[in-house]
Chains A and B, each alone.
Chain A
Amino acid sequence: QSALTQPASVSGSPGQSITISCTGTSSDVGYYNYVSWYQQHPGEAPKLMIYDFSKRPSGVSNRFSGSKSGNTASLTISGLQAEDEADYYCSSYTSSSTWVFGGGTKLTVL
């Protein structure tokens, strides 16, 4: 149950786009499409942003999009806004009927 690999930090200016990668194995990210992304602001609970690697829950801005290729999933945020500054985590269901999270990525809006 090794954690998925995410960059520790990314940054971008308002209006720009950024992409956060999430690399796993053939037993998790590469096994199912059940990859999800969560946004967490300091002191708050995580919030679901993307599920089934590319679907957006109702109420989540269409500036957030997801993709997957092989063992790597990605979250792209376009038109960066100040309120997007947060920690982002990917998660995947695994072939062992468990879940695994990424180590988290801190997004800084410059």
Chain B
Amino acid sequence: EVQLVESGGGLIQPGGSLRLSCAASGFTVNSNYMSWVRQAPGKGLEWVSVIYSGGGTYYADSVRGRFTISRDSSKNTLYLQMNSLRAEDTAVYYCARVYSDYLNFDYWGQGTLVTVSS
């Protein structure tokens, strides 16, 4: 059974850093495309970043240069390093597996809340 479990969220001051983790089971992170999607309180979904099976990465304009997506094959875990955090980064962050044949998000974690506030 495919499962994704996010962790690492919390309250952080503006300008601070946080690393989110997404532990996967039932499949191999390195062999799949993996993505982060976020949702600000009461708002819609916003795509954040993707890491392809070959290692290539892409980012939304709103986070490029501040966020870094990565993975650890030994832990079968996806990460999102978030630096220079802003109030507008406050959101629930979901990790999701991308079905590579049709480039949709077929499995989602339950999300972890990041609150950026002083």
- Of all chain B residues, which has the CB nearest A101? B45
Q: Is the CB–CB distance between A91 and B105 below 8 Å? A: yes
Q: Is the CB–CB distance between B44 and A89 below 8 Å? A: yes
Q: Is B1 an interface residue (CB 8 A)?
A: no
Q: Is the CB–CB distance between B102 and A98 below 8 Å? A: no
Task: State the CA gap A40–B110 with chains docked (Å).
Answer: 12
- A34 in complex: contacting residue of B37, B45, B104, CB < 8 Å: B104
The B contact surface, by secondary structure, is: strand
Chain A residues with CB under 8 Å of B110's CB are 44-45
- A57 in complex: contacting residue of B45, B50, B103, B106, CB < 8 Å: B106
Chain A residues with CB under 8 Å of B37's CB are 46, 101
Binding site for B on A (CB under 8 A): 1, 3, 32, 34, 36, 38, 40, 44-48, 51-52, 55, 57, 87, 89, 91, 93, 96-104
* Leading 6 A-B pairs by shortest Cβ distance: A36-B104, A51-B104, A104-B44, A99-B47, A45-B108, A93-B103
Supplied contacts A1-B61, A91-B47, 19 more A-B pairs, CB within 8 Å? A1-B60, A32-B103, A44-B110, A45-B94, A45-B110, A45-B111, A46-B108, A51-B99, A51-B104, A51-B106, A52-B104, A89-B45, A91-B105, A93-B103, A96-B58, A98-B58, A101-B37, A102-B44, A104-B45
- 15 cross-chain CB contacts under 8 A: A3-B44, A34-B103, A38-B105, A45-B110, A46-B45, A48-B104, A51-B104, A55-B102, A87-B44, A91-B45, A96-B58, A98-B59, A99-B47, A101-B44, A102-B44
